[in-house]
């Protein structure tokens, strides 16, 4: 019976080590994805700013081109 318990403990330790490694790998991947998400947020904000400025310039040109009454 002691041998079975010892074997179960060893198997549990191996599984625990594998899970620990998996958690470490997933944490590293999450960190990388968080960095990518931050870059995406920055680019989205930049594009939104450019679009707003472009729309504003288009509005100004449209009003400048309109004939005066």
pLDDT tens track for 21-67: 999 999 999 999 999 999 999 999 999 999 999 999 888 887 766 55
The per-residue pLDDT for 1 is 84
Domain residue extents for the chain: 1-38
* 3-class DSSP assignment, residue 5: helix
Cα–Cα distance, 16 to 47 (Å, whole number): 46
H, E, C per residue of 6-60: HHHHHHHHHHHHHHHHHHHHHHHHHHHHHHHHHHHHHHHHHHHHHHHHHHHHHHH
Write down the pTM of the prediction.
Answer: 0.66
């Amino acid at each position: 019976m002691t041998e079975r318990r010892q074997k179960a403990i060893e198997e549990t330790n191996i599984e625990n080590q594998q899970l620990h490694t998996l958690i470490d790998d997933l944490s590293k991947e999450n960190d990388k994805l968080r960095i990518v998400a931050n870059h995406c947020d920055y680019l989205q904000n930049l594009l939104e700013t450019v679009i707003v400025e472009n729309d504003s310039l288009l509005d100004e040109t449209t009003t400048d081109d309109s004939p005066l009454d």
